Structure formats: C-alpha cells, structure tokens
Amino acid sequence: MNTGRTIFAQLMDFLPLDEFRRCVQRYRGEYKVQSFSALDQLLALAFAQLTGRESLRDIEACLRSQQSKLYHMGFRGRIARSTLAYANEHRDWRIFADFGQFLIASARQLYRDEPFAVALAETVYALDSTTVDLCLSLFPWAQFRRRKSAVKLHTLLDLRGSIPAAVYVTGGQVHDVNLLDQLHPEPGAFYLLDRGYIDFARLFVLTQACAFFIIRAKQNTQFARRSRQSVERGCGLRSDHTIRLTGPKTARLYPAPLRRIHYLDPEKRLDLVFLTNNFLLPALTIAELYRSRWQVELFFRWIKQHLHIKAFYGTSENAVKTQVWVAVTMYVLVAIVRKQLHLDLSLYKILQILSITLFEKTPISLGFSDFNDEALNNNNRNQLPLFGL
C-alpha cells in the first residue's frame, strides 16, 4: 500500500488535513496566495523540526536536493527561503496554534488510560514556563530586561501521558502568574504550581470552580493554625495542618481554609511546604502528586534538546509563534503515531529514526522494526528520558 511513498509522506498522513484546511480558512491564510500554500509552509517547517535544520537556507538546500520526491511528499509550491521567510512573517500564527490544539485533544484521548505515578482517577495538570533567551536587537518585541529579550513558553501539561493540554507563547516580560487568568479550570482536576504562581485571588478562583491546587508556600506567608492531623514521620511528613490566612491582604483575597503540609523529601533532602485546598487525600499522596510536577521540567528540557525552538527561522512575533506551534505539533504527532502504531519506543528514539529515514520508501511501521534498541541505549546513556518512554 505504501510502496513508493516516502516515510515523510506516510507520517504526514496522520495529520487531519481537513481540520488544517478549516484552520486556514478561519484566518484567511491563503488570501491572494498564488503558489506557496499554508500546507507547503507546514510541511517545510515540519521537515525542519524532524531533521534538525538550523536555518532557512538549510531547509531550502535539503529540500531542493530531493526535488524529484517533493511532489509525492505533499509539496506543491516551489521551496525558496525568501518565500518561506515571507510566509513565516505574514501568515497568521493562529492557524498553526488552532491546528496544534486540535492534535493535542486527539492525543489526550489516546493517552487518557496511561498509568500514572499516583493512583488517582482525576486529571492532574502541571503548569510551568521555560524561557528562551533572544538577542534584543533582533527581537525588540520580546524585551525582557534592559539589554535582553526572551520568549516564554507557558505549558499546562497533562501528567497522564505528558501531553501539553495548553501552550501559551509570550514575551519574556509576561509574569508566570498572569497565565492563571488564561486557564479554564476543570472541576475535580488537580493543578500543580510552583511558588511563582502564588496569587491568592487567582487561587480562590480555582477553589470556586471546584478545582484543586497544590502549590509551594512562601516562607513569609502569614497564617493561623486551626487544627492538625497526625502524620507518619517515617515517610518524610512533618505536619498536616488546617490553616487560615491572616495577612491583611491575603485573608481578604482567600477567605476559605487551606491545608498546609510540611514534607521532607527523603531522596533530595528538600524541605517542602505545600498549600492545597484538598482536604480528602492523604498528606503523603499530596506530596507525591507535587513530586510528579517535575515531569513538566523534563518536558521542557526534552523539547529544547530534540525539537528546534532555540534557533528561530524568523525574528517577528508571528514567525516565532508559528515555529513554536509547529514544534509542539510535531511533538504531539509523534506521540499519536507512537500510540496508533503500538511502538514500544521512546519519542526520542522515534525522532532519531525519523531524522535519517524521512526520504526512504518503505512502510512506516517497518521503518522501526529493525531498530537496535540496545545499541542506541549504549550510545545515549546520558540522554534525558521522558515519561518512561
């Protein structure tokens, strides 16, 4: 069935192109466009992400070297760096953002039954951000400090499967806590937050929406203890108190009781204090839930290592957001392919194979069948794993 088709073309078959066309129409992405379509742009940037291209010139040279195969890979327009640069600058990035969100929803359905470190039926999210430093003279729209620019990638990660539920791209000047305003709290879900997200007015919104949060407490938080629960000190717990905030401002912003749990991590010897609005789960489960928040840190490190969001193919805000969303789309696409083809390989290994086999003409499932897992593990013992894949 796939005889004569490249692995790249077979991989792109997993993309719901009808939905992509609807996204293009929604934002008039091909208004007065004669040759280089939105799909051509998506395919070119997808190729760049999967093969690690460093620049527009690099993308152009590699694709033109395979000119005879481009039509069968889905390309219809002529590949030129000037054309791709213009598309990145001017074609609305929301096309790729909406398409990425559609793929995210599909991937979350596939991974909804994935095992989780904590025996919990509810959805658990981790919210965090990572910063990509930029040159101020080239990216003035993202000025972060007096002599520095940066882009922030804010991610709400569904820890069951490590699939990003929501992604927000902002300039470095946007404070993390502002992203709480973008959330649509899911009743019954847990949100794991670091201290940078402490804003008791916004946290109270989560409580009112019947969602739960677990957040690191600041040392200067003023509170009064109302009651205490006994804890098993042998597993790292030090205290489990019900409290009320007593600060002049915080008591007004968060008038409901909170639970304060003091935990000493036995592995890293970290002294941790959590605040949560959940009074039903055991204190140790609360601590274990927060420890699983580190999956979002692994996600950021993984995507920076293996997808290209540190070297940009354009300097405008539109170009940067387009590239970030295509990178996220490729991450999610590989996760979908892994699940649908029942591959027992990590995303890292799948990407490594794809990076050197995209132009081969063989059924995609066979492209992974002769993979020597032991050899790659011996060569990449220091590579960062992600969600045990």
d(CA 268, CA 272): 11
Q: Is residue 3 scored above 60 in pLDDT?
A: no
**pLDDT value, residue 352:** 83
Residue 102 confidence (pLDDT) above 70: yes
d(CA 66, CA 78): 12
Q: Which of 163-167, 306-310, 381-385 has the lowest mean pLDDT?
A: 381-385
Q: Is the pLDDT of residue 31 over 80?
A: yes
Backbone angles phi, psi at 316, to 5 degrees: -80, 165
Q: What is the pLDDT of residue 209?
A: 95
Q: What percent of the chain has pLDDT over 70?
A: 92
Query: Per residue in 181-238, pLDDT tens?
Result: 998 999 999 999 999 899 999 999 999 999 999 999 998 999 999 999 988 888 889 9
96 and 30 in contact (C-beta within 8 Å)? Answer: no
Instruction: Give 135-175 pLDDT, tens digit per residue.
Output: 878 888 888 888 888 888 899 988 887 888 888 988 888 89
- What pLDDT shows up at residue 40? 93
Distance CA 357, CA 351 (A): 10
Handedness of CA 167, 171, 175, 181 (dihedral sign): negative
What pLDDT shows up at residue 371?
60
Alpha helical stretches, state H, the chain: 7-12, 17-26, 38-51, 56-64, 67-70, 81-90, 94-110, 200-208, 250-253, 283-291, 294-306, 317-340, 347-357, 373-379
Q: What is the pLDDT of residue 207?
A: 96
Q: List pLDDT tens digits, range 115-127.
A: 776 778 788 999 9
Instruction: Decide if pLDDT at 249 tops 90.
Output: yes
Render pLDDT for 310-356 as a digit per residue (tens, 0 to 9).
678 888 999 999 998 999 999 899 999 999 998 888 877 888 888 88
pLDDT, position 104: 93
Which carries the bigger pLDDT value, residue 184 or residue 2? 184
Could you read off the pLDDT of 39-84 as tens digits, one per residue? 999 999 999 998 888 889 999 999 888 888 888 888 887 888 999 9
Cα three-residue angle 116-120-125, rounded to 5 degrees: 70
Residue 250 contacts residue 196 (beta carbons within 8 Å): no
**254 vs 149, which has greater pLDDT?**
254
pTM of the predicted protein model: 0.83
**Are the C-beta atoms of 386 and 162 separated by less than 8 Å?**
yes
Q: What percent of the chain has pLDDT over 90?
A: 44
Q: What is the pLDDT of residue 370?
A: 63
pLDDT band at residue 375 under the 50/70/90 scheme: very low
